[in-house]
């Protein structure tokens, strides 16, 4: 059992999971049925009883679990169970779009066993996945056991062919025969015992690692600290000393005898390459490394559109879970479309459509609980699209002030009227409201103005911004609403105003007033008026949102808008694809905090930067990026059919200013997704490197149709680490999966 090394083999929670127990599955008020669940012996797979006779799969992987929540925290359990059951209920939430499992245990004690046990298993699997060599070996031996159909602990030629298919290699009979002859010491025509071990060693040999290790291993055939330092300085371009090299040997060497001599074996070297120090992304950028003391408008802010939706914008479900998922991905600006509820409580849904509804107060509770729980302590902006009557607006304000409490910003920071937006650091663990306001912010600091405001509450206020105007055109309806003073008063730093041109904004728009731009207008400005758009965004926030005609919740390319300095480029987080890959890549740096400091030329009022014309200036820092795509291991199959084996190729894409946009790709490797090797060199010329994102895409080549997507990894150019690097995890459909992918990159002036 893989948990022996962690000391968990006698853990009572783990033993309970391995024994299993009955749980009541909850789907509705009338569908509550008992099913048996248990953790299988591999400690990676959950088995569950199913009454469906045609059901082919009654298991799911623990690695597919996103989180486990105790108590009545999901919408289903809140709706379909009584409060008294709270100690006995829990939910299993999955990655991607798979539905939650809402469950009732037999007792409070059993519920604790389930939640604690699953959390321990998930945590240990996560730790084990970092030990890539162990993971790799375990996976291969599992495939070997699976291929041993007659369970005689031997591998016949046919079983070898089945095994190679299973690990994504297509071979002919001659190749199988060659492998058997090379390993079959007993000359019996099949492999067993040490012969299988020899077969494994041939299969997992990393030629590129052998070459680079052999070039530097000059001490008794191994790497001394001095040899390793030579590698780090020459290949990785690192400015480190001998003590750092010695620390790496102490940390990653797997052979105690070699470690005692301060030497590194090839296995230790491979282990080092698969750890953070050997990854393609600079480990320092995985922490918050940027200045977080500048005004909010100086940052790109990870932002979601129609955050409440799980799927499309016409009939998809709305859910508080969608807010939780976005916040857990470091989204720092979420959208709430609020409408009058039939029972007096405001609801959230996509107006004039068949999308389901959730209570506004439930969304605020979920946001409060998860905004700062895991990934980021920096502020969250609640972007309100208000369609409610005055009475329900008052209730909205009440819910936000009572639920968010002191975390809600309800007045300017400090004692005096500010002249610029506060910083993310100033606003840690705080909430900002974006919406309409009846008066100027200055009035909030003036008693006289406050008294005057009481008289203006009844004035008509057009609460539609550009986005609502767009939706009105689709629905054919128009409505002018009054704005409740209670709601107006909690809009402090993000007052929504209508955009009336750059010149008007420059003379009339205050620093705390912001405009929303629909996708088409924003792209027009970014292409035709980039210089003016950049200057507008130097001291004011801009929010961009997808066209109302994207009813399938598809996304636009965010890069041209970031190039124009737009901060809040809102995407449909529920829809995976290249656009969300780029968003994930940009915000994957700076500790995944959801804020990335814009380059200085997008923050300078005197800047002459234009991403289209690229006049000369400090932004022009010509760099050559050299990338050698070396190899990959354990690429997943696109199809799980026995005969399906991928023909992988790698495409390297540069996303940034138009002059830098380009892509190059390798040849495809025929019938080998297990350990394809390309060894192909590419060179890219970059002119504005601070805005460049490098996207590595792996696809399954198809001669007659579109290639099938296998996975991708996007890294900001400025976060690329020089030298021989690895990508451990690639993303597909918004989910992370384990892959070894090796490249060699370096940057030249």
Sequence ranges of the binding site for substrate: 25-52, 434, 436, 516, 543
Q: Which of 274, 298, 350, 399 is catalytic?
A: 350
**Nearest 10 degrees: CA dihedral of 649, 654, 655, 661?**
-110
Active site residue 728: no
* Rounded Cα–Cα distance for residues 128 and 621 (Å): 41
Measure Cα distances from 513 to 290, 382, 433, 494, 541 in Å.
26, 15, 12, 6, 8
* Rounded Cα–Cα distance for residues 400 and 433 (Å): 9
**Residue matched to tokens 């962690």:** 6
Helix (H) or strand (E) holding 694: strand 693-700
Token reading at 690: 């601070």
Q: Give yes or no for a contact between 553 and 338, defined as CB atoms under 8 angstroms apart.
A: no
* Rounded Cα–Cα distance for residues 689 and 364 (Å): 39
Q: Give yes or no for a contact between 91 and 81, defined as CB atoms under 8 angstroms apart.
A: no
Helix (H) or strand (E) holding 93: strand 89-94
10 Å CB burial of residue 696 (0-12, 13-18, 19+) is: buried
Token reading at 10: 């006698």
Q: Could you tell me which of 643, 646, 631, 626 has the C-alpha nearest to residue 732?
A: 646
Per-residue exposure over 291-319, b if at least 16 CB sit within 10 Å of its own CB, e if not: ebebbbbbbbbbbbbbbbbbbbbeebbbb
Helix (H) or strand (E) holding 434: strand 431-435
* Rounded Cα–Cα distance for residues 269 and 217 (Å): 10
Binding residues: 25-52, 306, 335, 337, 385, 434, 436, 516, 543, 647, 671, 700-702
In total, the chain counts a number of residues equal to 749
Q: Give yes or no for a contact between 681 and 650, defined as CB atoms under 8 angstroms apart.
A: no
Token reading at 622: 């010509």
DSSP code for 564: T
Active site residue 305: yes
Binding residues for Ca(2+): 306, 335, 337, 385, 647, 671, 700-702
Q: Which of 305, 387, 536, 668 is catalytic?
A: 305
Per-residue exposure over 382-406, b if at least 16 CB sit within 10 Å of its own CB, e if not: bbbbbbbebebbbbbbebbeebbee
Q: Give yes or no for a contact between 419 and 511, defined as CB atoms under 8 angstroms apart.
A: yes
Angle between helices 242-252 and 225-234 (to 10 degrees): 110
**Residue matched to tokens 């479309």:** 337
Q: Give yes or no for a contact between 636 and 700, defined as CB atoms under 8 angstroms apart.
A: no
Token reading at 270: 């491979």
Residues with active-site annotation? 305, 350
């Amino acid at each position: 059992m893989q948990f022996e090394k962690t000391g968990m083999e006698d853990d009572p929670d783990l033993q309970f999971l391995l024994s299993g127990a009955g749980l009541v599955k909850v789907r509705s008020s009338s569908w509550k049925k008992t099913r048996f669940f248990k953790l299988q012996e591999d400690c990676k797979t959950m088995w569950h009883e199913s009454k469906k006779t045609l059901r082919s799969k009654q298991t799911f992987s623990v690695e597919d679990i996103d989180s486990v929540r105790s108590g009545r925290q999901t919408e289903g359990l809140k709706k379909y169970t009584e409060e008294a059951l709270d100690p006995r209920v829990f939910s299993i939430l999955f990655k991607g779009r798979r539905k939650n499992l809402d469950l009732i245990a037999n007792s409070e004690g059993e519920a604790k066993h389930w939640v604690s046990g699953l959390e321990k298993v998930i945590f240990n699997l996560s730790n084990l996945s970092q030990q890539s060599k162990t993971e790799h070996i375990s996976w291969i031996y599992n495939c070997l056991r699976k291929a041993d159909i007659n369970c005689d602990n031997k591998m016949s030629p046919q079983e070898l062919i089945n095994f190679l298919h299973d690990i994504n290699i297509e071979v002919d009979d001659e190749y199988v025969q060659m492998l058997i002859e090379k390993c079959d010491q007993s000359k019996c025509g099949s492999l067993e015992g040490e012969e299988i071990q020899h077969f494994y060693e041939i299969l997992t040999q990393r030629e590129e690692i052998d070459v680079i290790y052999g070039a530097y291993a000059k001490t008794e055939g191994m790497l001394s600290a001095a040899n390793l330092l030579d590698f780090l300085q020459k290949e990785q371009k690192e400015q480190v000393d001998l003590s750092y090299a010695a620390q790496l040997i102490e940390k990653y060497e797997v052979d105690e005898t070699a470690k005692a001599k301060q030497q590194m074996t090839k296995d230790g070297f491979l282990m080092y390459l698969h750890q953070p120090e050997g990854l393609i992304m600079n480990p320092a950028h995985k922490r918050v490394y940027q200045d977080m003391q500048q005004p909010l408008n100086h940052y790109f802010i990870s932002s979601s559109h129609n955050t409440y939706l799980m799927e499309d914008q016409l009939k998809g479900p709305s859910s508080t879970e969608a807010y939780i998922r976005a916040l857990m991905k470091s989204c720092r600006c979420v959208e709430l479309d609020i409408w009058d509820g039939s029972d007096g409580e405001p609801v959230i849904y996509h107006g004039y459509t068949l999308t389901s509804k959730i209570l506004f107060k439930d969304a605020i509770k979920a946001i409060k609980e998860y905004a700062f729980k895991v990934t980021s302590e920096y502020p969250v902006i609640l972007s309100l699209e208000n369609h409610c009557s005055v009475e329900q607006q008052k209730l909205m304000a009440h819910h936000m002030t009572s639920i968010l409490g002191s975390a809600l910003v309800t007045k300017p920071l400090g004692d005096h009227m500010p002249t610029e937006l506060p910083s993310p650091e100033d606003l840690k663990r705080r909430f900002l409201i974006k919406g309409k306001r009846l008066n100027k912010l200055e009035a909030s600091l003036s008693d006289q103005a406050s008294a005057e405001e009481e008289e203006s509450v009844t004035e008509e206020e057009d609460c539609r911004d550009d986005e609502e105007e767009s939706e009105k055109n689709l629905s054919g309806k128009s409505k002018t609403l009054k704005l409740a003073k209670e709601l107006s008063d909690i809009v402090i730093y993000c007052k929504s105003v209508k955009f009336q041109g750059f010149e008007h904004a420059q003379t009339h728009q205050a620093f705390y007033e912001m405009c929303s731009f629909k996708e088409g207008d924003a792209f027009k400005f970014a292409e035709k008026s980039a210089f003016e758009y950049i200057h507008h965004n130097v001291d004011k926030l801009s929010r961009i949102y997808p066209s109302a005609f994207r009813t399938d919740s598809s996304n636009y390319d965010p890069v041209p808008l970031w190039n124009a300095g737009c901060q809040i480029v809102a995407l449909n987080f529920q829809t995976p694809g290249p656009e969300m890959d780029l968003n994930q890549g940009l915000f994957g740096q700076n500790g995944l905090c959801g804020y990335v400091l814009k380059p200085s030329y997008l923050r300078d009022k005197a800047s002459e930067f234009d991403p289209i014309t690229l006049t000369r200036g400090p932004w022009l820092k010509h760099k050559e990026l050299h990338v050698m795509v070396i190899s990959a291991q354990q690429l997943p199959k696109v199809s799980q059919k026995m005969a399906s084996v991928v023909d992988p190729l790698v495409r390297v894409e540069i996303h940034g200013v138009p002059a830098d946009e380009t892509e190059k790709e390798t040849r495809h490797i025929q019938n080998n997704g297990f350990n394809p090797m390309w060894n192909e060199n590419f060179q890219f010329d970059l002119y504005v490197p601070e805005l460049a994102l490098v996207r590595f895409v792996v696809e399954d080549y198809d001669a007659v149709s579109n290639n099938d997507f296998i996975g991708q990894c996007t890294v900001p150019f400025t976060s690329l680490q020089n030298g021989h690097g690895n990508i451990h995890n690639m993303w597909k459909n918004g989910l992370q999966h384990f892959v070894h992918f090796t490249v060699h990159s370096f940057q030249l002036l």
